Amino acid sequence: MKISQTSRNRRERRTIEKPSTNQVKDVWDIAPVGLAILDRKGNILQTNRNFRLFSTRDLNPYFRPTLKRLLRKAEKTGRNIVKMELTGRRGLYSTRPDQWSISLFRRRHPRGTPGNAILMVENISERKQLQHKVRQVFETLPNIIVVSEKSRKIIRVSSRAEQLFGYAEAELLGKRIEAVIPQQKQRSYLQRGSTRLSQPLKPLAETSYITVGVHKDGYDIPIEVWVNSVQTSDGLQIVASIIDLSSLRKAEMQIKEGQERFRVMADAMPIIVFLTGAERGCTYVNKEGLGFFGLPLEKMLEFGWAEVVHPEDRQKCLDEHREIFESRKTGTVEFRARRLDGEYRWLLTAVRPMIDTNQKFIGYIMTSIDNTDTKSEQINTHKSQMDLMHARRVSAVGELASSLAHELNQPLSAILSNAQAALRYLRAKPIDLQNVGEILNDIVADDKRAGMIIRRLRSLVKKQEMEIIALNINDLVEEVVALLHGKSLECETRIQVNLSPNLPAVRGDSIQLQQVLLNIMVNGFEAMSETPIDSRLLVVETRQTGIAEVEIMITDAGAGIPENRLEQMFHPFFTTKKEGLGMGLSIARTIIEAHKGSLWVENCLPGGAKFHIALPTSDA
C-alpha cells in the first residue's frame, strides 16, 4: 500500500510538471510570431496559425525563395542561427505590405550533424516605423554619438556628427570612441569618463566639459561635450551631445583681434579716449589719457577718474555723465581736470553710445581734448562782452544825465522846501503839529522817490556777472518806463504802455534785459526828433504769443528804416546816427540770444519802426 501510494504521487507530480500535448499546441498556436519545424532538407513538418497565414503561396510568392536562401546561407556559413528580412502582405484581404523578419534556428546532434530546424517569422513593421521615427528625431538633434560603456565602441551616430568629424556612418560604427579623440587627449578623456560613470547619473545639463576632437583629416576641432548615461537592455550606453566651438572660437579670436586693433589705434591717437561698460564704470583709458593724468589704469577704472576732476566741477560732471547714460544719447561734457603737473586744464569730452550687432547697449566711448586755450578765449571774450555791455549802460546813463538830474532835482527841491516850511511851523507860537506832520510825510515820500531813481541808476551802472532768475516782464517794462520819464519830458514824447495781464514769468538777467529796453526806447525817442510834437508817441506792449513765449513790442512814430538796412541795424559798428558807435543794437541782440530769445525789427504803416523781443517762458 505504501509503495503504491508513493508511485501514484510521483505520477501526479510528473503530470503537473510536464505540460500536456494540448497545452503545448495552444501555446504554439497563440504565439505572436509564425513558427514552423523543418527537417534537414527544408521540408515543413509542422506550423502554427500565424505561419500558415504568412506562408500561403498565393499571398506571398517570395516566401519559398527566401526560405531556400536561408537554408543555403546556413549550410555555407555553418552557423546555427541565420536571419533575413523581406516585405509581404499579412493576410488574404490585406493590401498593405508589411516588413517581416525570418530567422532560422538549426539544431545539431551531439555528433555535429544537422538536425531539424525551427523557422520563426515575425512582423517587424511597427518596430521599423518606430526605428524610422527615432532616426528622424535623432537626425534633428545636434552632433550625437552613442557609445557602449562596456566596449567603448560607437553604436550610433547622427549625420551632423558625421559631417563634424568627416566620417561616413559606416566608418564610425563599431569603432572605439578614441577614433575621434586626439592622441594626446585620449588618456585624460578615458580618466574623465571613468570618473563620471562612477558617479550617480545626473541630468544632461549638469555633465559637460570643453575639449577637442580630431577630424578625419587630422586637424583638431574645439568642442563642448554634454554627457548623459542611459540604461538599456543592451547595457549602459553613453550619449554624447557635441557642440562645435570652431565658429565661436573664431568669433572670439576676431573679437580679440578687433579689440587689440582698437587699442593700438586708440593709443596712437593724440586725444584722450575712455571706454565704459553698460553700468557707467570706466573700463579702459588709452595711453594719451594715462600720460595726461599721470595715473595707472587701475586707479582710473570704474569711477576712479572722478578724482582728477576739479572739486568745483566734480558733482556737475557726474550728474551730466549720469543723465547722458540714462538717455542713451550722444552728448558733451566740459570740466576741469588735474594734469600730471598739477595744473587744472579744461577738457571738452564728446560722449557717444556703443551698440552691438544685436542692438544692445554695451557702454559709451568718450573722447576728450584739452580745450583750455579755447576756453580761455571764451572767458576773455565773455569778459569783454560784459565790459562792453557795462560801458554801454554807463554811456546810456550818461546820455540820460540831464533828464535824470531833472528827475532828482524835483524831489530834492521839494524836500528842501518842505524842510524850510517845517522849521517855520516849529518856530511859531503855538507849534502847528498837524502841518508839521503833513510836511514830514511829504519829505519821506520825496526821499523814497529820489532813492528809487538812484537805485535804478546804480543797478544799471553796477558791474556784475549775469544772474538768471524768474522775472515778471510787465514789472521790468514799468521800471524802465519810470526811469525814462524825465527823458520823455525832455524829448516832448508821450509813452503809452499796454501790458497784458497774467503773463507767465521769463528767466533772465533783469539788468541786461533793462539795458535792451532802455536802448531801444531811447533810440525811439531819437528817431522821432523830426516828427511833429503832437505825433510823438512811443508805444510799449506785452503779450503771450505761444504756449512758452512772451513778446515785448516797442513802436515809434518816426520815419522808419530803409528796407535794405533792416537787418544791418544789428550788425556791429553800423549806425544811422552822426555820433553813434553802432554797438547798441548789436549788444541788445547778443543779450536776447543769450536768453534763448530773438530780436528783430519791421516798418509800420504809415510810418515808424516796431521792435520785437521774444523770450521763452521759465517753463519752456
Residue 58's CATH number = 3.30.450.20
Predicted local distance difference test score (pLDDT) of residue 454: 66
Q: Are residues 476 and 353 in the same domain?
A: no
Q: What are phi and psi of 185, to 5 degrees?
A: -105, -10
pLDDT of 541 strictly over 90: yes
Per-residue pLDDT, 226: 75
Give the separation between CA 225 and CA 177, rounded to whole angstroms. 13
Let me know whether 475 and 450 are in one domain.
no
pTM above 0.85, yes or no: no
Residues 164 and 256 in one domain: no
Do 536 and 607 belong to one domain? yes
Residue 132 in any domain: the answer is no
For residues 256 and 354, membership in a common domain is answered with yes
* Cβ neighbour number for residue 417 with a 10 Å cutoff: 14
Q: Domain total for the chain?
A: 5
Domain boundary pick from 90, 124, 158? 124
Q: What is the pLDDT, as a whole number, of residue 579?
A: 53
Ranges 13-17, 128-132, 331-335: which has the least confidence: 13-17
pLDDT at residue 235 tops 80: no
pLDDT for res 614 = 92
Residue 263 shares a structural domain with residue 362: yes
Q: Would you say residue 133 lies in a domain?
A: no
Q: If you search the block for the grid coordinates 557635441, which residue do you land on?
A: 242
Q: Rounded CA gap, 538 and 497, in Å?
A: 8
pLDDT tens-digit readout, 381-425: 666 566 655 565 555 555 555 545 555 665 676 677 667 767 776
Give domain status of residue 512, yes or no: yes
Strands (E), 2-139: 34-38, 44-47, 81-89, 97-108, 114-123
Is 131 part of a structural domain of the chain? no
Instruction: Specify the 3-state DSSP secondary structure of 586.
Output: helix
Chain length of the chain: 620
At 613 the pLDDT is: 92
- The answer to whether residues 324 and 378 belong to one domain is no
What range defines the domain where residue 492 resides? 466-620
Per-residue model confidence (pLDDT) at position 553: 94
**Strands 494-499 and 537-546, sheet pairing:** parallel
What is the rounded average pLDDT of the residues 223-244?
75
Examine the domain organization and report whether 288 and 436 are in the same domain.
no
479 and 620 in a single domain? The answer is yes
* pLDDT value for 16: 44
223 is a domain residue: yes
551 pLDDT higher than 80:
yes
**How confident is the prediction for the chain on average, in pLDDT?**
76
* Residue 103 contacts residue 137 (beta carbons within 8 Å): no
Asked if residue 8 belongs to a domain, the reply is yes
Q: Say whether both 492 and 394 belong to one domain.
A: no
Give per-residue pLDDT as tens, 186-202: 666 656 555 554 444 44
Give yes or no for a contact between 66 and 86, defined as CB atoms under 8 angstroms apart: yes
Residue 183 clears pLDDT 80, i.e. is over it: no
| The pLDDT of residue 274 is above 70 | yes
Q: Percentage of the chain surpassing pLDDT 90? A: 6
Contacts of 294 (CB under 8 A, 6+ apart): 339, 340
| Mean pLDDT along residues 469-475 | 89
Whether residue 196 is found in the same domain as residue 145: yes
Return the pLDDT at 552: 93
Examine the fold and report which residue of 370, 396, 419 is the final residue of a domain before the chain moves on. Answer: 370
User: Of 322, 345, 370, at which residue does a domain stop?
Assistant: 370
Residue 135 lies in a domain: no
Name the strand (E) or helix (H) holding 32: none
Choose between 433 and 55: higher pLDDT.
433
Task: Name the most confidently modeled range: 63-72, 123-132, 279-288.
Answer: 279-288
The terminus-to-terminus CA distance of the chain in angstroms comes to 128
pLDDT one-digit tens code per residue, 553-602:
999 998 888 887 777 777 765 566 555 555 677 778 888 888 889 999 89
Residues 613, 480 share a domain = yes
Does a structural domain hold residue 134? no
Q: DSSP secondary structure string, 151-216?
A: T-BEEEE-HHHHHHHT--HHHHTTSBGGGGS-GGGHHHHHHHHHHHHTSPP--GGGSEEEEEEE-T
- Grid coordinates belonging to 553: 513790442
DSSP state of 505: P
